[in-house]
Structure 1
Amino acid sequence: MLGESIYIRGREAFTGGSPQAVYEELWQRGRKARLRTRAILALAALVLCGMLVNAVFGVVAAVLLASADALVHWRLYNASRVWRRGLRGVERMDRTLRLTLGRRGHRVLHGRVVPGHETADELVVGPGGVWLVHNEAWAPDAEISQHGGRLFIDGRTQSKLVGGLTARAAAAERLVSEKYGAPVTVTPVLAVHGGKLARAPFTADGIVFAPPLRLVRWMRRNPTAEHSAEEVEAIARAAVHSLPIGGRIMTDAPPPPSRVAAEPPADAPLTAGPEPAEVAAGEAGGGDAVTTAA
């Protein structure tokens, strides 16, 4: 379509009538009401604090109250940024892992394909274990909770989501263990972007759910194994070879061809070159030189 941005092409979040578009429209409509409420609160603080203390204190209190109200609403709006853009939060989690665990001896692999399953957003290999990280973004008013050990989103179970993530982690665990040559435990976790969490982190269907920073903190405080720095590198290499990018499986490079000529077997017959006289005779007669066995 003429005038359509190539960066948002195909995203349902930017089409009319989508939940994201409706949320954005309602937020813009409520702007005047938010400003009106903020002004009333600031004016009330100015009058009350000015009468009880002095005018300067009243002005300071009004400014602080208005700033706090603006900060609260900005945080609410910013929390839905990933969902409003129609994304799942992969780029945000990549940046979070790079600035946290990536600087503390962990190896982070991005976008690895688990054969027969969906792509693993991030695979984190560290001294405390291996985690397969999945990202999901929900609307700001979506209630995310667990009841009886099962995940519920707005009162509905998420069997497909948790089943796919669990199977993906199990397949990655099997492939990495085979390549590494020893058992490696891969723990599935889910980074929650947006939504309303009753508490975080929490465990449901064997998966830990939490916002990005809290999930990183949980991974550091709840190790599932003990790996040395050498083992971390070896497991990461095994994951690189067994979990390809875009379906391309890495294989070990063949050894380079030897530049030294192979020696003939000890029992192989040796042939001697023609004697100079035989070469001369052959050239004189126009025929081939004859070689004789030693």
Structure 2
Amino acid sequence: MPGGSIYVKQDEKYTGSSPQWWYEKFWREDAQNRRRSRYVKAGVAFVIGAALALRFDLTGAAPLFGLLFAGIVAGGDWYLDWRSFYATAVWRGARQGEAITGRMLRRSLGRLGYTVLDGRAIRGQASIDHLIIGPGGVWIVDNESWSPDTEIACYGGRLFFGEKYGTKVAKPLVETAEAFAELLSRETRVPVTIKPMLAVHCGLLPKGGILVAEGLMLLKPRLVAKQIKAAEGGVLNDEQIELLARTAARELQRA
């Protein structure tokens, strides 16, 4: 988020009676119920597998088919449970959102002529997690996370996080993008417009994982590089990309 990061070190929001603490507590306490449910699903799958084997006159292989179906269902159920918990890792403070997104950006964009600079700021102004410069233009990307049941939506052109207005989230990032663009354009004499993005690591985005509201694009981290690659190329040439990257590295402070 502009002005700081929630990911670097643990604080009291991840301890005591915080939502994160309660979430982990209930998750652990519910483990036995999840196992019971998995056993029931596996049992049903065993019966279905055996019945299918009998249906196709594979009597001798019926137990094997039953075990195979049961194993697939149990493994799939375990994976879905694990995945739902893993998806909250940044919100719980167990992982760093900027590290996840930065790794994705470099892996997807590094060989396509894009430069990714992490943790940049203008003196006395807000910081951002990633500045991306490449053939399709310039972007800033920040990282944030909300509780798993927080609905992120746009109504009447306004951004909402649950029942709360999202202007306090969108406006600083939009203003930071404008400030970065003004600085880079002035120092390089290359006119640039910077598009702000917010990588949402936890929270309920609309179907498709992308939302645009109040001048800000919010999206799942895995979609950030995809959106950048989808931008029309030829906006910046190699010389301009190098000039902008060198200027950004020199003029923008490390946050």
TM-score, L = length of structure 2: 0.88
For residues 107 and 233 of structure 2, the distance between their equivalents in structure 1, rounded to whole angstroms, comes to 22
Secondary structure at 1:230's aligned position in 2? helix
Percent pairwise identity: 36
Seen in structure 2, the aligned counterparts of structure 1 residues 75 and 98 have a Cα distance that, compared at 3 Å, is same
Paired residues of 1:209 and 1:215 also in contact (CA < 8 A):
no
Count matched residues. Answer: 240
After superposition, give the CA deviation of every residue in 1:207-251 in whole Å (9 maximum; x if it has no partner). Answer: 1111111121011102486111221111111212221225xxxxx
Map of 1:244 onto structure 2: 253
Is 1:219–2:228 an aligned residue pair? yes
Offset of 1:143 from its aligned partner?
Answer: 1.0
For residues 186 and 221 of structure 2, the distance between their equivalents in structure 1, rounded to whole angstroms, comes to 30
TM-score, L = length of structure 1: 0.77
Question: Highest Rg: 1 or 2?
Answer: 1
Seen in structure 2, the aligned counterparts of structure 1 residues 56 and 87 have a Cα distance that, compared at 3 Å, is closer
Paired residues of 1:126 and 1:232 also in contact (CA < 8 A):
yes
RMSD: 1.9
For residues 186 and 88 of structure 1, the distance between their equivalents in structure 2, rounded to whole angstroms, comes to 24
Offset of 1:170 from its aligned partner?
Answer: 0.6
After superposition, give the CA deviation of every residue in 1:66-122 in whole Å (9 maximum; x if it has no partner). Answer: 111111111111100111117661111111112111232111111111233211111
Seen in structure 2, the aligned counterparts of structure 1 residues 204 and 240 have a Cα distance that, compared at 3 Å, is same
Which structure has more RCO (C-alpha within 8 Å, separation ≥ 6)? 2
Offset of 1:63 from its aligned partner?
Answer: 0.5
Map of 1:61 onto structure 2: 69
For residues 134 and 242 of structure 1, the distance between their equivalents in structure 2, rounded to whole angstroms, comes to 19
1:70-85 correspondence to structure 2 within 5 Å: 70-85=78-93
1:103-142 correspondence to structure 2 within 5 Å: 103-142=111-150
Alignment gaps of 5+ in structure 2: 1-6, 54-61
Offset of 1:159 from its aligned partner?
Answer: 1.3
Offset of 1:202 from its aligned partner?
Answer: 2.0
Seen in structure 2, the aligned counterparts of structure 1 residues 152 and 171 have a Cα distance that, compared at 3 Å, is same
Paired residues of 1:13 and 1:84 also in contact (CA < 8 A):
no
**Greater per-residue helix proportion:** 2
Seen in structure 2, the aligned counterparts of structure 1 residues 224 and 137 have a Cα distance that, compared at 3 Å, is farther
Map of 1:191 onto structure 2: 199
Paired residues of 1:46 and 1:62 also in contact (CA < 8 A):
yes
Paired residues of 1:111 and 1:245 also in contact (CA < 8 A):
yes
